[in-house]
C-alpha cells in the first residue's frame, strides 16, 4: 500500500466535544475536531480544531503544536504567565503545562500532537 501525504483541504465529518464540566470556567464552548491523521502507534495526531467562546482548565500530557487560522485565544499558565494568539500565530504547548485556555472570539486552529511514551 503506498504511503500518501495528508492534506487539510478536504475535511471529514467533525467530532463534537466540549470541556468536561469539572474543567469548565466560563461560557458554553462547543468544539469540533477533524482528526486527519493518526499514526499506527497512536502517539502522533494532526488535524483541525474549532471552538466557540468560553474558558476551561487544561493539563497537558502531550506536546501540541498549534497554528491559529482565525479567532483569538488566551492561554494562562498556573503561575500566571499569559499569552494571547490570533490568526497567523503559531505556538507549542509542552507536555506538563497546566493552566487555562480561553477562546475570546470563535477560533479555528491546525494542530499536531505528540504523546510521549511512558518514562
How open is the CA angle 42-44-49, to the nearest 5 degrees?
Answer: 110
Dist. CA 14–CA 30, nearest whole Å: 12
Q: Give 40-80 pLDDT, tens digit per residue.
A: 999 999 999 999 999 999 999 999 999 999 999 999 999 99
Taking the domain 19-114, which CATH number applies? 2.60.120.10
Instruction: Give 51: exposed, middle or buried? Use CB within 10 Å, 0-12, 13-18, 19+.
Output: buried
Q: Where are the domains of the chain?
A: 19-114
Q: Give 20-30 pLDDT, tens digit per residue.
A: 999 999 999 99
- Whether the per-residue pLDDT at 117 is higher than 80: the answer is no
Dist. CA 13–CA 67, nearest whole Å: 21
- Cβ atoms of 71 and 106 within 8 Å: the answer is yes
Amino acid at each position: 500500500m503506498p504511503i500518501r501525504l495528508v492534506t487539510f483541504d478536504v475535511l471529514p465529518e467533525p467530532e463534537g466535544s466540549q470541556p468536561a464540566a469539572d474543567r469548565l470556567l466560563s461560557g458554553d464552548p462547543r468544539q469540533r475536531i477533524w482528526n486527519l491523521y493518526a499514526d499506527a502507534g497512536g502517539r502522533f495526531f494532526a488535524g483541525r480544531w474549532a471552538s466557540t467562546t468560553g474558558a476551561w482548565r487544561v493539563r497537558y500530557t502531550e506536546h501540541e503544536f498549534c497554528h491559529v487560522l482565525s479567532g483569538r485565544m488566551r492561554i494562562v499558565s498556573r503561575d500566571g504567565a499569559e499569552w494571547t494568539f490570533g490568526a497567523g500565530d503559531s505556538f507549542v504547548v509542552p507536555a506538563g503545562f497546566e493552566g487555562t485556555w480561553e477562546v475570546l472570539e470563535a477560533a479555528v486552529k491546525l494542530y499536531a500532537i505528540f504523546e510521549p511514551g511512558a518514562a
